[in-house]
Amino acid sequence: MPPSAISIREYLNYPPAVAGPNTKYDNTPQNNPSLSGATLGVLSSVVSSLGSLQRILWSNAGFGSLSKLEKTGALKDIVPCFDPTVIALVNTTSTLIPSAYEALTTRGVSSSGSTFYSAADYVAAYKSGAVTPTQVAERILEILATDSTKEHYFIAPTPKDALLAAAAASTERYRSGGALPMDGVPLVVKDEVDVAGTVKTLGLSPAEVSRRLGNEPAKQSSFCVQTLLDAGMLLLGKANMHELGLDTTNDNPHWGTPTNPYNAAYYPGGSSGGSAACVGSGLVPIAVGADGGGSIRVPALYNGVWGLKPSQGRVSGRPTPSLAPSVGVLGPITATIADLEIAYRVMAAPDVEGGSASALFSYPGSLTSITEKVLGIYKPWFEDADAPIVSAVQSAVDALVSQKGYKVVDITLPYIAENRTAHAVTILSEIGSGICAGGDDVAGLCPSTKILTSIASKTKAHDLITAARLRAQMMQHLSHLFQTHPGLIIVTPTAPHPGVKIPPGAGIKGAYGISDSNKALRSMQYVFLANWTGCPAISAPCGYVSVDGGEMPVGMMGMAEWGGEDSLIDFGKEWDSLWSKDSRKRGKGWVDVLKKD
């Protein structure tokens, strides 16, 4: 068991955080410029070579606020927490393992409806003989070859011959009556995650992949990916991602930027942007993403689909090393809530051979359900979003209260702005340490990554210890809230704005990329907390807003206590039953993969 992994019952004995002078929420942005084009390239070279400038920018980013908070004495009795893994107790005597594939028995909506195909639709179509996995694979290959809006969705697509051979094998299993649970259902995997026989890039340029990671194909797929492949899923390839996962746009100058299927003028979100775009465009019902600061939920939101960030340590990625071990997790991005349930339950099977925290968790669905329906809202935080976003999410909350029996309680979250800074310092330090030699080796990176990792290199050990104290305090406070309000789900918008518009000259393969830390931090305003404290969180599509002559989706996020993924899925099902059938829309870039012609 990891040193800080303890049961929820033990953790609940901790006291809540004491409100201090900085408890009031304040989201005043730092005065950081938005940069793109040649200016960004020049600045990145200067920043990466001048330690004095790095220190100035480190301070300008607000990272020094942690030291100021420590000097107030608010954290003096807090023991640092460097790993937010918390193992939930199993409150049941049942020895039965719930079926991961139960949701496949319920059909999704038909192609004439207003929403997306689910894995259940694919399986039903295959079993009925309406279409075969081979026909689906051929259709997908045709789309990818002729639809220019899908050009940059993949970094490493499965070779045509290999994909058709896998589809043919799946088709034969259906014909012979030996089909696997999700045989032939299309799947993509974020390029951060290992897939046997493919080279991982982390979104780096080919030259930097060779220098930093090597060109040897992975010998083994990540545990959670292998569980999906063992269920028969048809792998389309490794999906595009932001370089090193270090932003929320998925602007990738090396491999190109995926197109948002709702609005081509906007980014698809990142860093799992390729995975989410594949789901949002209808190419696949299930994708694997990675989330260290919203990288599953933000792109899921921007692409109008579902995303789940599991509890810290819940899903095993063995042997894939995490880019940010104390905040990063692997999880699903899906077309429907039914797909989210299936994908989570398959991916989160305990990895009993890996020596990781995953082995200590119970099987998904094993925990006793809590019947109370409580939504917690910290009003100053919830309302610090664009007015149309607040309105859409508030309407969703009101519907859950009036039609599904939820009640709303007001909560507070101390030092939320400082916690966001602490998370940013920690994730940048972890990624910079693991990949960039602590910021000393930034050659070959795109300019925005150079700037971020160079600035983060000025973070001192003392600052990281202060951040870890702040994390422990927030976890104690959340423990108190979850004990006071059993079944509590903390609700916010997934992001405070309807996406990030692509500026002129950005979003192009071969360009410089973009650095806009204000918008990046703004995008992460709500999502970071689940990563920081290790709690699970779900993003559900809940509306649309008009932007630039088109539309972008709105997302509602719910965060539950450690091990509370099943309660979040139940929450998602209840919202889905109120909204998806009549209100959900496909984007302009959606394609009909199951079309019969």
> From the candidates 295, 429, 457, 479, which is the catalytic residue?
295
State the DSSP code for 200: -
Residue by residue, DSSP assigns 250-313 as ---TTT--PPPSS-TTB---SSSHHHHHHHHTTS-SEEEEEESSSTTHHHHHHTT-EEEEPPTT
> From the candidates 4, 150, 190, 316, which is the catalytic residue?
190
Q: Which helix (H) or strand (E) holds 64?
A: none
CA angle 179, 181, 182 (to 5 degrees): 95
222 CB-contact burial (10 Å; exposed 0-12 / middle 13-18 / buried 19+): buried
Closest CA to 292 of 277, 270, 276, 274: 270
> From the candidates 205, 221, 222, 271, which is the catalytic residue?
271
Contact 133, 126 (CB under 8 A): yes
Contact 241, 273 (CB under 8 A): yes
Which residue's entry shows tokens 């990145």?
Answer: 44
Residue type at 31 in one-letter notation: N
Q: Is position 295 annotated as part of the catalytic site?
A: yes
Contact 543, 392 (CB under 8 A): yes
Indicate the SS3 state at residue 329.
strand
503 CB-contact burial (10 Å; exposed 0-12 / middle 13-18 / buried 19+): middle
Contact 370, 486 (CB under 8 A): yes
Q: Is position 190 annotated as part of the catalytic site?
A: yes
* Number of Cα atoms under 13 Å in the Cβ half of residue 330: 29
End-to-end CA distance of the chain: 54
List, by residue number, the catalytic residues.
Answer: 190, 271, 295
